[in-house]
A = this chain, B = another copy of it.
Amino acid sequence: MLKFDKNDYRREAERFKALGHPTRLWIVRQLADGQEHCVCEFVEAVGVKFATISQHLAILKAAGIIADDKRGKQVFYRLCCPCLLSVLRCVGQAQEG
């Protein structure tokens, strides 16, 4: 077994960590319809403060999972990695071990 080098796994672990929060996972699933969605939609559906949603979106963006597009006063987010859909399906179905 090869030696573990933390740096080789940091970035990838960051992606999983970003998905490892109920609110963020829900956001990603909402975006999985392929459409763009506005920050305000998330705020309303989740029921937390604007700042909190904004912070979650920033984490997903930093992880390279979503991308944003400013149009007028609003900001729209979309999924950037299409293969994430099958990931969500798999992890969602995983059985107890």
Main secondary structure of the interface of A (DSSP, over half): helix
Option from B22, B26, B42, B90 in Cβ contact (under 8 Å) with A87: B90
Chain copies in the assembly? 2
Chain B residues in 8 Å Cβ range of A14: 20
B1 x A23 contact (CB < 8 A): no
A9 in complex: contacting residue of B26, B37, B64, B65, CB < 8 Å: B26
CB contacts (< 8 Å) of A8 on chain B: these are 22, 26
Instruction: Verify A81–B65 contact, CB threshold 8 A.
Output: no
Residues of chain A touching chain B, judged by Cβ–Cβ distance below 8 Å, are 1-4, 6, 8-10, 12-26, 29-30, 37, 41-42, 44-47, 61, 64-67, 80-81, 83-84, 86-87, 90-97
